[in-house]
């Protein structure tokens, strides 16, 4: 799916009315694309769990504002949601985009409490290349945030694609000093957080075997994993189930919500009162 079409879809989507944008364009670093937006429930008794959403775009495109529909949906479930931009090719090479995502997570750990969030309950979620980014941060201690991540939701992500044999992976990863270390399936240990992994059976962009391989490695390591495959879904479908106008009303959204509520210990009271400290004059 073209990401200009994602932007159009986002513009047309009404947004979850249980949620709102708290802040826009906050800097987590000194570079132009090192900015993030925050979303939260309209009513909540804080502190509430935190979800960092990492968008996809083949590591060479994307805009955080185009994914407000996902952030609003997640916030409507009861979470403080952080959506960062990060630098992409050709401005940077691997692994700089991962380092940017890690920097956004560190910003979140430092500042979540200021916006009613509980950084001790933190999940990462992502679609496509964003799912890869999320899983890599959870599995690779070198990025410095692994221990803070309590759960990961990966939708249609590439986790097992070496040797590099398509233009996207060749362009992005062929310069890596250790190509095998770019593959999430090679980084799994028993310390990995629980994961929810979903794929589309008719995905011709990122084959379902990526989800199969990573889920197998997680189970072998004794890590809790939910593996779901959706017939007649294509690559964008798993993302569009979360708050867009094009949802097929499958079970995926409810399953993601249940997984996050369980792993982040979302209490019914988390949706009971207003978070208002940062509402005036910020966001919309």
The residue extents of the domains of the chain are 3-269
Each residue's pLDDT tens digit, 69-112: 999 999 999 999 999 999 999 999 999 999 999 999 999 999 99
Q: Label each residue of 186-218 as H, E or C.
A: HCCCCCCCCEEEEEECCCCCCCCHHHHHHHHHH
Fold of 3-269: Rossmann fold (3.40.50)
155-207 pLDDT tens trace: 999 999 999 999 999 999 999 999 999 999 999 999 999 999 999 999 999 99
pTM of the model: 0.91
Q: Is the pLDDT of residue 209 over 90?
A: yes
d(CA 92, CA 6): 23
Please state at what angle helix 96-111 crosses helix 129-139, rounded to 10 degrees: 70
Residue 268: count of CB within 10 angstroms of its CB? 9
Provide the edge-to-edge strand list for the sheet that holds 48-54.
19-27, 35-41, 80-84, 48-54, 117-127, 151-155, 195-200, 225-230
């Amino acid at each position: 799916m073209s990401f200009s079409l994602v932007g159009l879809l986002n513009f047309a989507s009404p947004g979850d009315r249980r949620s709102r944008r708290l802040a826009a364009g906050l800097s987590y670093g000194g570079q132009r694309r090192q900015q993030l937006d925050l979303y939260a429930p309209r009513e909540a008794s804080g502190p509430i769990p935190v979800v960092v959403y990492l968008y996809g775009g083949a590591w060479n495109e994307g805009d955080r504002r185009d994914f407000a529909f996902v952030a609003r949906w997640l916030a409507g479930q009861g979470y403080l949601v952080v959506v960062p931009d990060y630098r992409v090719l050709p401005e940077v090479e691997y692994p700089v985009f991962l380092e940017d995502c890690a920097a956004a997570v560190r910003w979140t750990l430092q500042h979540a409490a200021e916006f009613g969030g509980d950084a001790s309950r933190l999940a990462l979620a992502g679609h496509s290349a964003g799912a890869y980014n999320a899983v890599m941060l959870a599995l690779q201690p070198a990025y410095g945030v692994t221990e803070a991540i309590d759960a990961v939701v990966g939708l249609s992500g590439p986790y097992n694609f070496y040797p590099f044999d398509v233009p996207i992976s060749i362009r992005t990863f062929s310069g890596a000093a250790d190509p095998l270390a770019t593959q999430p399936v090679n980084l799994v240990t028993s310390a990995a957080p629980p994961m929810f992994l979903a794929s589309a059976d008719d995905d011709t962009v990122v084959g379902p075997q990526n989800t199969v391989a990573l889920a197998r490695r997680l189970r072998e390591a004794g890590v809790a994993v939910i593996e779901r495959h959706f017939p007649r879904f294509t690559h964008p479908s798993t993302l569009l189930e979360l708050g867009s106008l094009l949802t097929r009303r499958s079970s995926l959204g409810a399953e993601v919500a249940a997984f996050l509520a369980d792993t982040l210990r979302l209490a019914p009271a988390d949706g009971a009162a207003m978070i208002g400290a940062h509402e005036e004059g910020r966001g919309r």
